[in-house]
Amino acid sequence: NAGVTQTPKFRVLKTGQSMTLLCAQDMNHEYMYWYRQDPGMGLRLIHYSVGEGTTAKGEVPDGYNVSRLKKQNFLLGLESAAPSQTSVYFCASSYSVSGSYEQYFGPGTRLTVT
Amino acid sequence: DAKTTQPNSMESNEEEPVHLPCNHSTISGTDYIHWYRQLPSQGPEYVIHGLTSNVNNRMASLAIAEDRKSSTLILHRATLRDAAVYYCILRAINAGNMLTFGGGTRLMVKP
């Protein structure tokens, strides 16, 4: 059981470039989330999904797009990267049923935009 | 969203108990209290959660004040591996599984 995995682990982009971060989970979780964490700060929710084919905006969605074509995968896209998007990105997943509250997090992707 | 207030940092000695406080004076009756921790260079991990009663699990204990306006995460014997940022989070019952992270408390454990 790999849990939540993220690809890539590190990436450096130039301003204006695009990229896609991949999150995969093997726990059959319905919910998936993308967060960003800036230095010395807590995590902020970017987008989330409550099931295959659905996505919704979180607290800081601007500049990002997401897709959930398969239940086990949640993709985060940056169409035109900006230095303000330099951050560590975490993916998480959880069950949706009442009583299953725990979110499981991936190891993170460290993104630098120059 | 109801907010939480935690000290920025705390220090503890190894093998001693640690009490991490959290104030949440605007908590509503249906907000759950969650604790996550984030070890250096890792994603957060779930520690414990509760609603009204004190809770124990293999990692920690959660003591909730009778008026629910504060709570305390208790690590019974701190180890060096417990050095992390601890987040106290309120989760609204009607917000699904959404979590809103604050700044957390950085726990330093001295050998």
Q: What is the pLDDT of residues A4-56, one digit of tens each?
A: 999 999 999 999 999 999 999 999 999 999 999 998 888 999 999 989 999 99
Task: Write out residues 51-70 of B within 8 Å (CB-CB) of A.
Answer: none
Contact B32 A105 (CB under 8 A): no
Res B80: pLDDT: 96
Query: What SS3 state is found at B7?
Result: coil
Q: What is the pLDDT of residues B49-63, one digit of tens each?
A: 999 999 999 999 999
A41 to chain B, closest Cα gap in Å: 6
Of A48, A50, A102, the CB nearest to B46: A102
* Greatest Cα-to-Cα distance within chain B, rounded to the nearest angstrom: 43
- How much is the average pLDDT of B75-81? 96
B16 to chain A, closest Cα gap in Å: 27
Query: What SS3 state is found at B73?
Result: strand
Res B96: pLDDT: 63
Q: What are the Cα distances from residue B84, in Å, to A39, B10, B59?
A: 15, 10, 14
pLDDT at A77 over 90: yes
Report d(CA A67, CA B31) in Å as an integer: 30
Using the CB atoms, write b or e for B72-89: b if 16+ within 10 Å: bbebeebeeebbbbbbbb
pLDDT confidence bin for A74, thresholds 50/70/90 = very high
